Amino acid sequence: MRYDKPISMTPLDARRIVAQPVDRVDGPAKLSGAATYSYEYHEEVPGAAYGMIVPAAIAKGRIVAIDSAAAEAAEGVLMVMTHRNAPRQGSGGDAAPQLVGSEIAHHGQAVALVVAETFEQARHAAGLVRVDYEREPGRFDLAEAERQARPPRGGEHRMGDFEAAFAASPFAVDVSYTTPDQAHAMMEPHASIARWDGDRLTLWSAQQLPDWSVGDIAATLAMPSEHIRIISRFIGGGFGGKISVYADAILSALAARALGRPVKLALTRQQIFNGTSHRPATIQRLRLGCDAEGRLLAIGHDSVSGNLPGRSFEEGAASQTRLLYAAPNRLIRNRKAVLDLAPAASMRAPGEAAGLLALECALDELAEKAGIDPVEMRVINDTPHDPERGPARPFSSRKLVEALREGQRRFGWERRDPVPCRVRDGRWLVGMGVASAIRENYVVEAKARVRLDGQGRLTVETSMTDIGTGSYTILAQVAAEAMGLPLDAVTVRLGDTRLPRGPGSGGSWGANSAGTAVYDACMALRDMLAQKAGLNSTDARFEGGMMHGGGRSLALAELAGEGVSAEGEMLPGGLTQSYAQASFGAHFAEVGVAIDSGEVRLRRMLGVFAAGRLLNPKTARSQAIGGMVFGVGAALMEANVVDRRHGLFINHDLAEYHVPAHADLPDIDAIFLDEEDDKSTPLKTKGVGELGICGAGAAIANAIHNACGVRVRDYPVTLDKLLDGLPPIG
Amino acid sequence: MRPFTYERAESPEQAARAAAETPGARFIAGGTNLIDLMKHGIETPPHLIDVTRIGLDRIEETAEGGLRIGAMVRNADLAADMRVRRDYPVLARALLAGASGQLRNKATTGGNLLQRTRCLYFYDGITPCNKRRPGSGCAAIGGVNRMHVIVGASDHCIATHPSDMAVALSALDARVETVNGGGATRTIALADFYRLPGDRPEQETVLAPGELITAVTLPAPVEGAQLYRKVRDRASYAFALVSIAAIIRREGRAIAEARLAFGGIAPKPWRVEAAEAALTGSDGGRAAADAAADAILADAEGRGENDFKLPLLRRVLATVLGEAMAR
């Protein structure tokens, strides 16, 4: 269906299965180990050889010599592939071609692949490959590279006279914030098994967007897309880190073809940090001006981020500022600089996650100057429509104010003392902070197929992936509700590019897009079944495994006969043009800052969100909390630390790249406000997966300031940045 | 990971003898650190001697009224031992401040003493590191050194010792018992157990090649308040930026005896006699704490990113003393 006008009533409105907090349908498989991840297809692909890459040990320059003799002679080694003997490859997207020449573009780039009979043999032999390099100076410092940053793509977003309005504002802040490079740090590493059957390639591979990956791989291997099948049934987290194709997929395919034998290849945790992608660092300048009532008169947001030469991705950290608050005078710009670090790419809520860390703190700074409560400041500047386009483009739904008010009430905001350092609990200075959440809503093309068999079982098929989010569960819910079947009569098959093309997991579009395709397929199936019975589909009611209508009740199992199937699709229409669409929310955080050490510990946190209809409130809540945990990490600890001499992220393991531990998350909750958005999808959903991170870190940073009076504008807010500003002890 | 041979020893003597016979052999117990380092190619022993079946897994009372902790006693068991919790609480707290529950279940007393630094460059495997590849240089000097030492450094190495347990043992005046390949035993005061890096940062202890730790002994319990305070970047599973093991005995309102050991600031657990002396007879207040901090930081030197450890130590020492005096 082309979705270009809001739908009215649908069978999902009954909400018997949809919108219920049902358990994950794949939970038992995951708990028991029956859920198979890409590296684990031992039975389907017996006899695979093991690959191990050799990562580049310099950041920029070239290989002058490789001595692989010792590795080739090592026990069990089947082959060593380097740029000298790697097959020619085509160009296939940002990251795809491997071992294509002697040039080193970034640390951790694969310079050799060793394949052996066992994992241990491959790993040992990889250590025996000697590579001599010629180093060239590289650009590793964003602050330096910023001077050469290129002007904004697609122009800057201007409205009114920003400079004059900012200069004339009774209250103003002009502040710069920095956010660091961050790692996706998903549990499952990048991993692939490649098998060739003649000229056909099957890749069991952790790919968030398997159909896109097929295109990239086909271009790289110079073969038809139709000859490649990717299977990604379960993915152990991605967060954007598995959107592009990396060395594991390409090199396992090349090696398997050369050896005539399946090859499996996983990147080690250490190799992932510099060898794949990351959220790039940003430098952001916020210029905000308001009147005495707190009304924003001028909003200026400039952001710069870096990426390797020729890469298209940039961190649009200023972009969400176009939609979040009203103000008549605006100047919003993203710029990109060239760096020679690992490739920058999307990480959970690209844009908003970094941008709100700056915007939502700068707004707090302005509120403090103007003497306005931070919650009121956000309420005052709410807007019912796209601030640039005016009332011609209203929001499809927007419950920012409701989220702020609900959170304010539930969190006990009235107990917040606006003056820092006045609330103590033992050696802890206690503070509260708030921040708004916004994440733009995306809907993309998607296809799905449903099949009803003679036993009354429904199978849903789409190449959509489940990266831990709950895709299996929500698609089963949509289909069960639409067909009037119990949930356990539905089987969902995902993550296989032989299935109808799903949207993949990214941009929080999965439920919107794949969910609509499944819904559309079910509606087509209902029509077919009704016709079979000689009914108008509008006269048929589907309930309890039966079709009722025309004074008859027929079991779906019987109607299906030998089986009947239908296809459906989502084709987004013009509704995103005529309506601004985003999910919204508000974060409330309470932290303690140790008065002696400056250690910051979260005490409690609440997120209140509105993201359209929730297909499953339980998985949605998990997603929201997961995002908030990302925000805790961003505020307090997460950073890829750049060694600017050697040009690499030097903390490349999970002992030293800190993400929050359980002890850092004592009391964290997320609730959702009732909302249905029929401008977004016929399911009345909006994106959920990334909303939780948006603004979460800023609420914590604002709480830190409220606790101890120190405003750190350089994330993460670690104790060394607070110490100097803490009050004297004892 | 380099291929290696493996044997399982049946007794401490046999283990030490086996080590003497194979140059470069390493003992393996919990393996929580060694296996990681072997996977990264940072440690490349040709032979491993498994010491998990040699006994030494008891905590026994000594004739002097102290405890002998077998080298194979797991960190989790040591932290949970009622005698340790009652008489040596600083040790139990230090243990529980370290690593994670899973690691503490595997890690042993002897292995904990011998765990290697968490310097990012030591672990990196590529950049220069005198500890990993003697003579290659120290990338932490002038590099990312937020976690690094402020005392006891040399021009060759500025890496910290990562153990929490060893800091508490230092404050408790523990001793280390060993056996060598010839069957000879000796006892080494913890204060003498670790070396400073000097120009041989790869040599971290006074143990001879193949010498096996058999036990750690604690003297009879001492009176006084025992505290362990660990300052770190997250609430669990992070190494100390600064840690303090304090044993403070009061008489009336004055400190009769003070023992302070510090982690996160030096290549080994750090004690400064002058600092402890400065506290003796004092009221443990801010002036006394400052005098002690002055003594500790007299030769301290920040390296840029870790400059904050100087004021951090000063502030945290003051509150630790305040808590000890309030007990």
Distance from CA of A379 to the nearest CA of B (A): 33
Question: Looking at the domain assignment, is residue A702 inside a domain?
Answer: yes
Which of A683, A639, A675, A686 shows the shortest CA–CA distance to A659? A639
Q: Please tell me the predicted confidence (pLDDT) of residue A537.
A: 86
Q: Looking at the domain assignment, is residue A523 inside a domain? A: yes
> In this structure, what DSSP letter does residue B2 have?
-
pLDDT exceeds cutoff 70 at B253: yes
Whether residue B231 is predicted with pLDDT greater than 70 in this model: the reply is yes
Assigned domain for A169 exists? no
Give the tokens for residue A447.
């296809």
Looking at the structure, tell me whether residues A563 and A663 fall in a common domain.
no
Task: Identify any residues that bridge with A714 across adjacent strands, giving them in sequence order.
Answer: A178
DSSP A240-303: TTTSS--HHHHHHHHHHHHHTS-EEEE--HHHHHHHS-BBPPEEEEEEEEE-TT--EEEEEEEE
Q: Which residues contact A310 (CB under 8 A, 6 or more apart)?
A: none
Q: For residue A153, is pLDDT > 90?
A: no
Query: Domain map of chain B by residue range?
Result: 5-53, 225-326
Q: Specify the DSSP class assigned to residue A72.
A: H
Q: Quick check: B120 contacting A, CB < 8 Å?
A: yes
- B232–chain A Cβ distance below 8 A for any pair: yes
Active site amino acids of A: 690
In this structure, are A643 and A708 located in the same domain? yes
- For residue A452, being part of any structural domain is answered with yes
Average pLDDT over residues B257-282: 98
- Domain B5-53 matching CATH 3.30.43.10: the answer reads yes
Question: Beta strands A61-67 and A130-135: pairing type?
Answer: antiparallel
Average pLDDT over residues A91-97: 76
- One domain for residues A604 and A681: yes
Q: What is the pLDDT of residues A366-408, one digit of tens each?
A: 999 999 999 999 999 999 999 999 999 999 999 999 999 999 9
- Whole-number pLDDT of residue A330: 98
Instruction: Quickly state the pLDDT bin for A27 (edges 50, 70, 90).
Output: very high
**Would you say A227 and A217 are in contact if contact means Cβ atoms under 8 Å apart?**
no
Residue A541 lies in a domain: yes
Considering the domain architecture, whether residues A404 and A454 belong to the same structural domain is answered as: no
Distance CA A471, CA A486 (A): 18
How far off is chain A from B1, nearest CA to CA, in Å?
A: 5
Residue A362 to residue A173: CA distance in whole angstroms: 7
Q: Do A546 and A672 sit in the same domain of this protein? A: no
* DSSP one-letter code for A573: -
- Mean pLDDT over B179-207 rounds to 97
Please tell me the total count of domains within chain A.
2
Chain centroid to Cα A535, Å, comes to 44
Q: Is the pLDDT of residue A95 over 70?
A: no
Mean pLDDT of A569-596: 97
Q: A263: which 2 tokens? A: 């090859």
Span A15-22, average pLDDT: 97
Q: Does residue B196 have a pLDDT over 80?
A: yes
Last residue of a domain, one of A511, A545, A575: A575
Q: Which of A547, A575, A603 is the last residue of a domain?
A: A575
Interface test with B, best of A75, A642, A656 (most B CBs within 10 A): A656
Q: Looking at the structure, tell me whether residues A437 and A450 fall in a common domain.
A: no
Domain boundary among A575, A609, A626: A575
* Domain assignment present for A141: no
Contact call for A664 and B236, based on CB within 8 A: yes
Strand, helix or coil for residue A332: strand
**A570 and A454 within one domain:** yes
CATH number of the domain at A489, please.
Answer: 3.30.365.10
Non-local (6+) Cβ contacts of A479 within 8 A are A450, A458, A460, A485, A490, A492, A518, A522
Range of the domain at A594: 395-441+581-730
> What amino acid occupies position A250?
I
Rounded to the nearest integer, the mean pLDDT of chain A is 97
| CATH number, domain B225-326 | 3.30.390.50
Domain check: are A479 and A424 in the same one? no
Partner residue opposite A601 with nearest CB, options B139, B235, B319: B235
Q: Is the pLDDT of residue A582 over 80?
A: yes
A520 with A624, same domain? no
Q: Are residues A723 and A586 in the same domain?
A: yes
Distances (CA, A) of A360 to A193, A374, A416, A705, A716: 44, 10, 18, 13, 15
Q: Quick one: how far is CA A453 from the chain centroid?
A: 36
Whether residue B199 has pLDDT greater than 70: yes
pLDDT tens digits for range A107-136: 999 999 999 999 999 999 999 999 999 999
Identify whether A56 is part of a domain: no
What ipTM was predicted for this assembly? 0.97
Residue A155 lies in a domain: no
Cβ neighbours of B3 in A, within 8 Å: 75, 120, 124
Of B1, B241, B316, Cβ closest to residue A120: B1
H and E: helices and strands count for chain B: 13, 11
Q: Is the separation of the CB atoms in A194 and A25 below 8 Å?
A: no
Residue-averaged pLDDT of chain B: 97
Average pLDDT of A674-682?
A: 98
pLDDT digits 0-9 by tens, A208-255: 999 999 999 999 999 999 999 999 999 999 999 999 999 999 999 999
